[in-house]
Amino acid sequence: MEKKGEKKFTVHQIKIRLHQSPLVVALHSNNIHNHHHREHNIHLAEDILSSATQQQRHLTTRLNNHNINNNHKNINENSFDSTNSVLSLVLPHDTYPGYSIKKFSSNYTLAAAIAPAILDGITSSDANIAVTHAATFRLMENEFSKYFTVLEDGTVMTTSDLSPLVNRPVHLTVLEENPLYSQKHQLELFVMDKKDMLRFPGATLESVGEVQENAKPGTKIHGAPLLQANSVSGVKPIDYTITSGNENGDFALENSKTGEIKTNITVYDVKKTGVWLVTNRPLDRELKKEHLVVIHATDEEGINIAEARITVKVIDENDNRPLFSHAEYRFIVPGVQTIDSNGNTTITWERFTKIGKVEAKDADGDKIAYKLTTPNNYVVIVPQTGELLLASEPEKQELTLEVEAHDIRSPSLTSPKPAVIFIEFVAPTPVIVQHMSHEMSHQHSHRRDKRRVTRAVRPTKRVDFTEADGDAEGRVVFNLEKETERETFKIRDENPWVTVETNGAVRVKKKWDFEELGPEKTIDFWVIITNQGGGHGVYG
Tell me the pTM: 0.46
Alpha-helix runs per DSSP H in 94-242: 108-114, 116-119, 124-134, 202-205
4-7 long-range Cβ contacts below 8 angstroms, 24+ apart: 6/466, 6/467, 6/468, 7/466, 7/467, 7/514
Most confident of 13-17, 455-459, 494-498: 494-498
Tell whether the model's pLDDT for residue 528 goes beyond 60: yes
Tell whether the model's pLDDT for residue 80 goes beyond 60: no
SS (H, E, C) 471-521: CCCCCEEEECCCCCCCEEEEECCCCCCEEECCCCEEEECCCCCHHHCCCCC
Confidence of residue 508 (pLDDT cuts 50, 70, 90): very high
- What are phi and psi for residue 352, nearest 5 degrees? 70, 20
Per-residue pLDDT at 365: 82
Give the residue, 49 or 39, on which the prediction is more confident.
Answer: 39
Q: Do domains 38-192 and 437-539 have the same CATH topology?
A: yes
Closest CA to 425 of 348, 502, 333: 333
**CATH 2.60.40.60, domain 38-192, yes or no:** yes
Residue 63: how many other CB atoms lie within 10 Å: 24
Closest CA to 244 of 190, 296, 304, 191: 296
Confidence of residue 434 (pLDDT cuts 50, 70, 90): very low
* Architecture in CATH of 323-426: Sandwich (2.60)
Tell whether the model's pLDDT for residue 493 goes beyond 80: yes
Tell whether the model's pLDDT for residue 39 goes beyond 70: no
CB 33 within 8 A of CB 70: yes
Residue 234: how many other CB atoms lie within 10 Å: 10
- Domain boundaries, given as residue ranges, for the chain: 38-192, 202-315, 323-426, 437-539
Residue 330: how many other CB atoms lie within 10 Å: 15
Assign 3-state DSSP to the chain and report helix, strand, coil percentages, each to 5. Answer: 15, 35, 50
437-539 in CATH: which number? 2.60.40.60
Q: What percentage of the chain reaches a pLDDT higher than 70?
A: 70
* Architecture in CATH of 202-315: Sandwich (2.60)
Per-residue pLDDT at 116: 55
At residue 241's C-alpha, the angle toward residues 237 and 247, to 5°, is 170
What's the whole-number mean pLDDT along residues 336-357?
A: 85
